Structure 1
Amino acid sequence: MRAVLQLQALTNRVSLSSSTFVRGKSLWLDANRAHRGCSPVRRIWTSAPLCMGRRSSKIAGRKEAQDAKKAKLYSRIGKEVVSAVKKGGPNVTSNSVLAALLEKAKELDVPKDIVERNIKRATEKGQEAYIEKVYEVYGYGGVSIVVEVSTDKVHRSVAKIREVIRDYGGKMADSGSVMFKFRRVRAVNIKVTNADKDQLLDIALDAGAEDVIEPPTYEDDTEEDRSERYYKIVGSSENYSAILFKLREEGIDFEPDNGSELLPNTTVEVDDEAMDLNKELMSKLLELDDVDAVYTDQK
């Protein structure tokens, strides 16, 4: 079997390993907050699933994976800027879509030069607007995979996706046969060494977030393994800015999503061989330039 490429973009955002999406015990935060006049009481869910072994899922190449995730974010914002300029022009005063995108880029800490470069790119001869597409895929062991694409050449992108799926053992699914297994959210990832869990729960409650998801644990974890994992604060488009504001106010470093994220409603547990094959398939899909994100319900 081909060696698997572990991607933080899949285990974190893009995702954390979907085992982190399993909800476990609930924490009630009313008692120590009543004196601060916070009401009504909200329930924040956390989970910390224990994964038995699975050395193939261990943290590997995390720095490279995080760089790749950031590159995907910049690429996606750049494409959205190009499309907005193609449709409404480069003037933010008259182009409300572009103005909103610039605010979004600022929120997600996208470098200004990337935005400016894509505004200029949109005016170049032959540059087409980007179209967003979603492809649904069946992986090994009953696992579902969603591939989000932004492309200026639909035939090119679908051909490349089909080629990867054919070469790495997946199967294209009919539209709607996979998407219902996921929900769309906004999410922020915080390294466990950058914040205390109770502090994040306080922030989540104040900002109106719905979940704080703890990273998975493995029976053979080292201290270094544990220090390289991430909490995930899950919210909506309406309260996402408030979550980021609270994190910045507390001086906590974080990694934003790329504008939205899909979380599985439930997860599917597979054996080690299927896990490795699915991870390689998703890794190869993420390497495609037109692919912005890949999500799975694999545990």
Structure 2
Amino acid sequence: MGGHSHWATIKRHKAAQDAKRGKIFTRLIRELTIAARQGGDPEGNPRLRLAIAKAKDANMPGDTIKKAIQRGTGELPGVTYEEFTLEGYGPGGTALLLEITSDNRNRTVAEIRSLLTKNHGTMAEAGSVAWQFQKKGILVVEKNKVDEDRLLSVALDAGAEDVKVGEKTFEVITGPQEFEAVKKALADAKIETSLAEVTFVPQNYIKLEEKSAEQMLKLMEILDEHDDVQKVHANFDISEEVMEKVAAAG
């Protein structure tokens, strides 16, 4: 199981707690606002359509969604956010790619640099890490929700690139452009997904042992809690055995 799957699982466990602190809503509102810059009609704006779906999944009130979209289209006044990526290295030589939305780039860069330095990481020059990741659509389906052959048939017919088989889940991989079509095909086939997003996927993974794994998971959580960090991507792999040791030690 790769870093993406591990972190996605950890984040799902944290979801309820995060929602109480309002972090999920904060990120979703920023995404809605930024996506709406490309047009306020979700039918003609796939990014906004996905952002609305995520907001509804998080039980965000319709009025909050509407106002976030209106701030993006300029119908309502609001903060102007800038989108950019930051690159770095984590414990064990892992590569980090952070998707950022900020109203103050200099402040955010300084804060992220400080967090990395204090947690066994370093900031990297632009371009030194990004090449290790590819943008892909990921749809995760629990194994007990669908027959493998049926999932393969539906996903591949809709344009998916691959279906990876994990211990408890299937990961449907798509190109960014095919993501919407594959997601719709799965929904039409009544195949439930536990995670659906367009994200950066590492081309190779670094296997971490117990100490580095513990440091990496702590760093990921710290970065993930920063308000300006929309997503954290890293190329680490942790075996189930090491994960159990880390969990027991924690």
TM-score, length of structure 2 as denominator length:
0.76
248, 251, 271: which one aligns with 2:187: 248
The equivalent residue for 2:131 is 180
Matches within 5 A, 1:36-55: none
Unaligned runs of 5+ in 2: 57-61, 238-250
TM-aligned CA distance change 1:98 to 1:114, over 3 Å: farther
Taking the aligned partners of 2:184 and 2:137, their CA distance within structure 1 comes to 14
35, 59, 65: which one aligns with 1:115: 65
3, 8, 13: which one aligns with 1:63: 13
Residue aligned with 1:237, SS: coil
71, 91, 102: which one aligns with 1:151: 102
Taking the aligned partners of 1:80 and 1:230, their CA distance within structure 2 comes to 27
Tell me how far 1:17 sits from its aligned partner.
3.3
- The number of equivalent residue pairs is 227
The equivalent residue for 2:49 is 103
Residue aligned with 1:129, SS: coil
Checking the alignment, whether the CA contact within 8 Å between 2:158 and 2:181 is kept in structure 1 is: yes
The equivalent residue for 1:283 is 221
Checking the alignment, whether the CA contact within 8 Å between 2:155 and 2:186 is kept in structure 1 is: no
Tell me how far 1:184 sits from its aligned partner.
0.6
Bigger shift: 96-105 or 142-151?
A: 96-105
Tell me how far 1:91 sits from its aligned partner.
6.3
The answer to whether 1:295 aligns with 2:246 is no
Identity %, equivalent residues? 25
The answer to whether 1:265 aligns with 2:210 is no
Taking the aligned partners of 2:109 and 2:169, their CA distance within structure 1 comes to 33
Tell me how far 1:97 sits from its aligned partner.
11
Q: Which runs of 4+ in 1 moved over 6 A?
A: none
Residue aligned with 2:232, SS: strand
Taking the aligned partners of 2:51 and 2:205, their CA distance within structure 1 comes to 31
The answer to whether 1:196 aligns with 2:123 is no
Checking the alignment, whether the CA contact within 8 Å between 1:84 and 1:98 is kept in structure 2 is: no
Tell me how far 1:292 sits from its aligned partner.
0.7
The answer to whether 1:17 aligns with 2:26 is no
Q: Deviations over 1:224-278 (max 9, x none)?
A: xxxxx432111023221221122112212214444x2111111111221111111
Taking the aligned partners of 2:158 and 2:70, their CA distance within structure 1 comes to 36
Q: Tell me which amino acid in the other structure corresponds to 2:65.
A: V
Q: Deviations over 1:9-44 (max 9, x none)?
A: x95xxx3139x9xxxxxxxxxxxxxxxxxxxxxxxx
Residue aligned with 1:16, SS: helix
Taking the aligned partners of 2:11 and 2:187, their CA distance within structure 1 comes to 27
RMSD over aligned CA atoms reads 3.2
Tell me how far 1:84 sits from its aligned partner.
5.7
Taking the aligned partners of 1:64 and 1:210, their CA distance within structure 2 comes to 30
Taking the aligned partners of 1:277 and 1:103, their CA distance within structure 2 comes to 36
Larger radius of gyration: 1
Checking the alignment, whether the CA contact within 8 Å between 2:163 and 2:173 is kept in structure 1 is: yes
Matches within 5 A, 1:123-134: 125=77, 127-134=78-85
| Structure whose residues are more often helix by fraction | 2
Unaligned runs of 5+ in 1: 1-9, 21-58, 218-228
Residue aligned with 2:170, SS: strand
Checking the alignment, whether the CA contact within 8 Å between 2:91 and 2:212 is kept in structure 1 is: yes
Q: Tell me which amino acid in the other structure corresponds to 2:124.
A: A
Residue aligned with 2:126, SS: coil
Q: Tell me which amino acid in the other structure corresponds to 1:144.
A: A
Checking the alignment, whether the CA contact within 8 Å between 1:151 and 1:290 is kept in structure 2 is: yes
Q: Larger relative CO (CA 8 A, sep 6+): 1 or 2?
A: 1
Tell me how far 1:141 sits from its aligned partner.
1.3
TM-aligned CA distance change 1:60 to 1:255, over 3 Å: closer
Taking the aligned partners of 1:154 and 1:203, their CA distance within structure 2 comes to 43
